[in-house]
Chains A and B, each alone.
Chain A
Amino acid sequence: GESVGLHLPTLSVQEGDNSIINCAYSNSASDYFIWYKQESGKGPQFIIDIRSNMDKRQGQRVTVLLNKTVKHLSLQIAATQPGDSAVYFCAETPFGATNKLIFGTGTLLAVQP
């Protein structure tokens, strides 16, 4: 029911620490992956993407790692800040699906000052 969905996996970190958020994706044919950040009452905000021909991509303070063997995606946030507190979703696009995104279960990141 909906009450189960409210119990998001939660990662609690101290300000300044590094955060690692993990995601298992479902379709071995997926060839494009995105991490989104969603703050309460707002739409998802693009963070970083990676294509299946890569295993690592870096942005500003964020790194995405892709392990196709075990269908695992991770988001690393360096020097986590209070403004990073949000729900993080990974999303995949199956090959040929023209950008239709399939979202995983979100993770709530709580940054303690």
Chain B
Amino acid sequence: DTGVSQDPRHKITKRGQNVTFRCDPISEHNRLYWYRQTLGQGPEFLTYFQNEAQLEKSRLLSDRFSAERPKGSFSTLEIQRTEQGDSAMYLCASSLASGNTEAFFGQGTRLTVV
């Protein structure tokens, strides 16, 4: 499978715990994005990497959230001290770096904070 891969697909955690999600983009794609989607809504932009550089972060990304892409390939999104409001689908997407081109999404990680 040469698409965007996310792991895990589902995560249930207790409030206050830390969680980490992984995204493996399409191999030749320089750009990687994280989005969050709640039920019935469209995805909302969280952050964006070009290669290993994190170039933009949304105001939605509180201090409890951190994303990395250390070698410009896979990326991780960590949420510290999870809250019930963090429950959502976390989507990763990747695209080529040449101008505006289509972004391809992974299947997402469904987080439930209990």
Contact = CB atoms under 8 A, between A and B. Distances in A.
A54 B104 CA distance: 22
A80 interface: no
A40 to B, nearest CB: 11
The residue among B31, B42, B103 with the most chain A CB atoms within 10 A of its own CB is B42
Contacts of A101: 33, 35, 43, 45, 93, 103
Interface in A48-98: 49, 51, 89, 91, 93, 98
A100 B56 contact: yes
Interface residues of A, number: 30
Contact of A99 (B6, B31, B40, B107): B31
Contacts, number: 76
Contacts of A102: 45
Nearest to B3: A43
Contact of A105 (B42, B91, B101, B102): B42
B39 A6 contact: yes
B91 A44 contact: yes
A36 B43 CA distance: 11
A110 interface: no
Nearest to A2: B39
Nearest to A4: B40
A42 B39 CA distance: 12
A8 interface: yes
A103 B43 contact: yes
Interface of A: 2, 4-8, 31-32, 34, 36, 41-46, 49, 51, 89, 91, 93, 98-106
Interface of B: 4, 6, 31, 33, 35, 38-45, 48, 50, 55-56, 91, 93, 95, 100-108, 110
